[in-house]
Structure 1
C-alpha cells in the first residue's frame, strides 16, 4: 500500500490532474442509482495521498502550496460534479432549439463553479496538514464546512453533498437525525480517508481505530433506531399519489393542456387498488394543473365533479397575481388545496427558486445577451415571501416543499412540531431516465429522517412515494411509470427532533476536528524543527 501511495504522491503535471479528476468521478458511484458507498474510500484515499504529495513539495513556498492544494481539490471536485450532474443537460434538450447552446455551461460550467468549494476545502486543510490521522481531521473539517457553505452561499446548491454517499440505505441514514447532513458529511470524510493511513509510515493504529469506531457507531445506531422504532398509533389517513408520467415536451405544448388535465382527473377517479379504502387526500405533482386555475372556473367545477364527498385534492399549479395597470402579472410556482366543492381552501408559493430554471439572476443585464429561464413562464417565476403551511379542512397540516426545495436542510428547520408530514411535489420529467431523479429522491428521504416526519412525495415522473420518518419507503412508484399509489400514513409528531440540536452537533464536531488538526499540526512542525 505504501508503494501505491508513493506513486500517487509523486505524480506530476497531466497525470496528476487526471488522477485527481478520476478520483472525484469514482466517488459518484456512491450516489444513486448505484449507492456503492465503498467507492468514496477510493476517492478520499487518493485525494489524501495527492495532498501528501503537495506537502512534500517545499520549493513553492506557502502560496505555491496553497495553489497546489486548491488545484487538487478543484480538479477532484470537477470530476465529482461532472460525473454526478451531467444529466442537467437533459433538461436543456426538452427545448433544444432554444437552449441546446447552454449544455456545455450546465454540464461543465456549473461543476467548475461548484468545484471551487472543494478547492477551498483542500486549500484550508493544507494549512493544517500534518502526518498521521490529524491531517484526516483537517480534511474532514474543511469538507464539512465547504458543504455547509455550498448550501447557503449564492442561494445555495447542496446537491450530492458527500454525506449522501454514506447514507444509501435506511440503516445508514439514522445518524442524520442527530447530527444532520453536514455532521454526517464531516465524519464520512474522516472515515473514507482513513485507508490513506495504510500508505503512511509510522503509527497508523489510532486513526484506523477511530475511523472503524465511527463507522460502527454510524451503522450500529441506525440498526438500533430502526429496531426500536415505536409502533405509530392513531388513525391512518388514506392518500393517493398520482404520477401521470407526462413527457415534458408535451407539457410545453398548449394544445395538450386539456388532455393533460383530463389524464390527471382519470387517475384520480380510478377505483382504489387492491381493495384499499377510498383516498381522503389526492396529491398531484408540481405544475400538474396546466393552466391558470383561477382563470378557469370550469376546471374547478370539473375537479369538484371528480372528487368524492370529503376528498381533498392537493395539486401543483401556476398562480398568477395581477399587478399595477400596464404591468405584467407575477407568476408563482404554487400548491393549491381544493375541496370537494371546487373551492381553493389553502395555497403555498415556492420560496426557493431554481436560478436560470425559474428565474434569471441579474435579468436586466443578462437579457441583453439572450439568456432566459428554462421554464415556460414569460418573465419566469416570482418567489413567495414566506412559506405558508397547508392547513386542510380537518385540521391536518402539511409542510410544503416544491421540487428541489427539499434538498436544503435549512429550508425546514421550523417544520418539526408544526406539521403532520412533509409534502414534496416535483416534476423530474425534465431529467428523463438519468441519475437525477434517483439522487433527488435520496435527498428527500434524508430530510424525512432528519426531521423524524413522514414524507408524501408526488412526481410527474421521477419517484413518487410515501416515506416513513426513518427513510423507509412504505409505498412507491418508480421512475418512468404511469399510475397512482394508494397508501396511508399516520399523523404523528412523537419522534420529531430539534434542528437546533443538529446544528450544534455539526459545529461541535467541526470545532473538535479543527482542534485535533491544529494540535497535530503544531506537533508536526515542532518535531520537524
Structure 2
C-alpha cells in the first residue's frame, strides 16, 4: 500500500470524527476515552493511546463552540474513568445494606466529577487552538499541555486525586519510566500525550508523517537515556537488613468481626513466626493489621497483654512494624481516632509510631459533614479519623530511617518525603495498605503500579505490605525485587535494596522542572503558530 493510499484512509477516518455531531460525537469521545484506559495498569496496552488521542483531537477539530469542547472532554473523561475506577464501588459491597445509596456516586458520580476537569481543559484547548490557528504538531502540543494541566489540578485541588495519570502506562517499560526521576509522573504524562497526539497531524491542511516520527524518536531517546541510567545501579542490598513481608489475605468482610479478631491476629502471628523467623530482622504487617485499639503510650496497662503478644513477632534486635487504629483522649474526655503505624520491639515496647496524614474523603472522614444527611458515616470508619503530621522520617531499630506511608497517601507525587528540615533523609519508603476492600479488581494492580513510581521519583526503594495484595519490594529504578500475588496468604523474606547512587533531580526540585518543561512547550507552540514540521 502506497503512502498516498495510507494518507487517504487516515483522512477519511479523521473526517468521520471531525464531522460527527450530537450523540454520535459524544459516543465516539466516550469510546476513545475507554480505549485510553487500556493503556493503563493492569492492561498496559500503550499503543492504543496512539489511536485514542488522535481521535480526541479530530473530534475537537470539528467543534467551534466552547460548550461542544466541554461536552467532548467530559464524555472522553467519563468513558475513561468509568472502566478505570469501577473498582471503587466494590468497597461498598462489604456492607451494601448500609452503603447502597452511594453506589451511583462511586460508579458514575466520581467519573462525572473528574469529567468536569477535562471538560474545562478542553475548553481552554479549543480557545487557544482557534485563537492562534494551531495546526499540525502545534495542535497536538496544545492538547498535551491542556491534558497535563488537568492532571495536575485534579491531583491537587480538593485534597487531590492523582489516580491513573496517563504516564503510569509506562510502569512495565522501565527505561522510559526513568523520565520521572527528572520530571515526575506529570512530566512523563506530558511527554506521553504529546507523542500520542502527534499522529493527528497525519490528517489536516498540511498532512505529514514527520510529527509522529519525531514523537517516536523522542521516546526512543528517553528509553536510551533511561537504560543507561539503570546500568549497574541499585543492584546491591543494605547490609544486615532482611525483611519479612506478611500478607495474611483476610477478607474485608471478616476482618473486623468480633468473633474473628483473635483468629485473625493468630493467623498473622503464625505467618510471622514461620520457619526462617530467626533469619530476618524486621517483620512487617499491613495497614490496620492489629484488630484492636492501640496506643503509642507504653505505660497504658490496658494494652500491656496485647504488646506482650505482639512482641513475639519481633525478631531479636529488630522489630515488628504493623498498622493499627489508635485511640487518643484529651483531658476533657474528647476522643480522636488515628489510622497508625507502630514499631514494636521484642521487649514489648512501642519505640516509634506514625499517624496517617492524608485521609481518604468519604472513606475515612466525611468532608462537609454538616451538609450531608444525618447519620451518614464514612465507609471505612464509624467516626471521622483525624490526620497526623507528615510526611516524616521514622527511626527504626536495626534499619535505615524510612518514610512511612499508609495506603492512599503514597499516590501523591512529591509528597511522600519529609521536608529539608528533617534530621535525616529516609533511605526507603514503607507503605502499609489494605486493598481487601476492592477484591480481585483492577484497583490493587493500579495501586501497586502507582506506588512503584514513587521509588523512581525519589531514588530509594519502596516496601509495600498489603492485607490481600499486592505486597512487594521495588528498587529505586522500578524493578520488582519480589512480590506476593493478589489474593494469596503468604510471606516474603527479602533484603532491602540500596538506593540510587545520587538523589534524582525530581527529589531535589519537585514539580519546578515540570513547570519549566510545560512553559517551554507552551512558548514553542505559541511561537510556531500556523506552522508544521
Q: Name 1:373's counterpart in structure 2.
A: 378
Deviations 1:339-389 (A, max 9, x none): 110100000110000000000001123142x431001x3312111133342
Q: Name 2:228's counterpart in structure 1.
A: 224
> For the Cα contact (< 8 Å) 2:391–2:418, is it kept in 1?
no
**In the TM superposition, what are the counterparts of 1:315-464 in structure 2 within 5 Å?**
315-327=322-334, 329-368=335-374, 370-375=375-380, 377-394=381-398, 396-414=400-418, 418-464=425-471
2-structure distance, mates of 1:356, 1:185: 28
Deviations 1:232-277 (A, max 9, x none): 365151000000000001013122111111111111000129xxx7
Deviation of 1:205 after TM superposition, in Å, equals: 4.5
2-structure distance, mates of 1:491, 1:300: 32
2-structure distance, mates of 1:207, 1:257: 60
458-467 or 488-497: bigger deviation: 488-497
37-46 or 332-341: bigger deviation: 37-46
2-structure distance, mates of 1:169, 1:461: 26
1-structure distance, mates of 2:530, 2:215: 22
Please, which of 3, 12, 35 is the counterpart of residue 3 of structure 1? 12
2-structure distance, mates of 1:455, 1:286: 15
Q: Cα distance 1:88–1:520, how it changes in 2: closer, same or farther (>3 A)?
A: same
Deviation of 1:170 after TM superposition, in Å, equals: 2.1
Q: Cα distance 1:472–1:392, how it changes in 2: closer, same or farther (>3 A)?
A: same
1-structure distance, mates of 2:292, 2:137: 58
Please, which of 495, 508, 526 is the counterpart of residue 518 of structure 1? 526
Deviations 1:9-53 (A, max 9, x none): 100111111000010011111112211111211110100111111
2-structure distance, mates of 1:230, 1:463: 22
Unmatched runs of 5 consecutive residues or more in structure 1: 58-64, 525-529
> For the Cα contact (< 8 Å) 2:476–2:500, is it kept in 1?
no
Q: Name 1:262's counterpart in structure 2.
A: 266
* TM-score of the superposed pair, with normalisation by structure 1: 0.92
1-structure distance, mates of 2:329, 2:232: 52
Q: Cα distance 1:326–1:455, how it changes in 2: closer, same or farther (>3 A)?
A: closer
Deviation of 1:326 after TM superposition, in Å, equals: 4.5
Deviations 1:400-439 (A, max 9, x none): 1100111101312547961110000000000000000000
Aligned-residue CA RMSD (Å) = 1.9
2-structure distance, mates of 1:415, 1:105: 36
1-structure distance, mates of 2:54, 2:489: 43
Q: Cα distance 1:326–1:231, how it changes in 2: closer, same or farther (>3 A)?
A: closer
Unmatched runs of 5 consecutive residues or more in structure 2: 1-9, 296-301
Q: Name 1:96's counterpart in structure 2.
A: 96
Please, which of 452, 467, 473 is the counterpart of residue 480 of structure 2? 473
1-structure distance, mates of 2:237, 2:496: 10
Q: Cα distance 1:265–1:233, how it changes in 2: closer, same or farther (>3 A)?
A: closer
Deviations 1:159-196 (A, max 9, x none): 00111123333233111111111111111110111221
**In the TM superposition, what are the counterparts of 1:20-59 in structure 2 within 5 Å?**
20-54=29-63, 57=64
Q: Cα distance 1:9–1:442, how it changes in 2: closer, same or farther (>3 A)?
A: same
> For the Cα contact (< 8 Å) 1:144–1:186, is it kept in 2?
yes
* TM-score of the superposed pair, with normalisation by structure 2: 0.92
Q: Name 2:282's counterpart in structure 1.
A: 281
> For the Cα contact (< 8 Å) 2:281–2:398, is it kept in 1?
no
**In the TM superposition, what are the counterparts of 1:137-176 in structure 2 within 5 Å?**
137-176=141-180
> For the Cα contact (< 8 Å) 2:392–2:419, is it kept in 1?
no
2-structure distance, mates of 1:100, 1:106: 10
2-structure distance, mates of 1:339, 1:81: 44
> For the Cα contact (< 8 Å) 1:428–1:460, is it kept in 2?
yes
Q: Name 1:185's counterpart in structure 2.
A: 189
For these two proteins, the number of residue pairs brought into alignment is 509
302-311 or 129-138: bigger deviation: 302-311
Q: Cα distance 1:469–1:94, how it changes in 2: closer, same or farther (>3 A)?
A: same
1-structure distance, mates of 2:56, 2:207: 20
2-structure distance, mates of 1:252, 1:230: 40
Q: Cα distance 1:233–1:242, how it changes in 2: closer, same or farther (>3 A)?
A: closer
Question: Secondary structure of the equivalent of 1:94?
Answer: helix
Q: Name 1:301's counterpart in structure 2.
A: 308
> For the Cα contact (< 8 Å) 2:234–2:497, is it kept in 1?
no
Question: Secondary structure of the equivalent of 1:215?
Answer: helix
Deviation of 1:523 after TM superposition, in Å, equals: 6.6
Deviation of 1:201 after TM superposition, in Å, equals: 3.4
Deviation of 1:500 after TM superposition, in Å, equals: 4.2
> For the Cα contact (< 8 Å) 2:235–2:497, is it kept in 1?
no
Question: Secondary structure of the equivalent of 2:91?
Answer: helix
1-structure distance, mates of 2:93, 2:153: 31
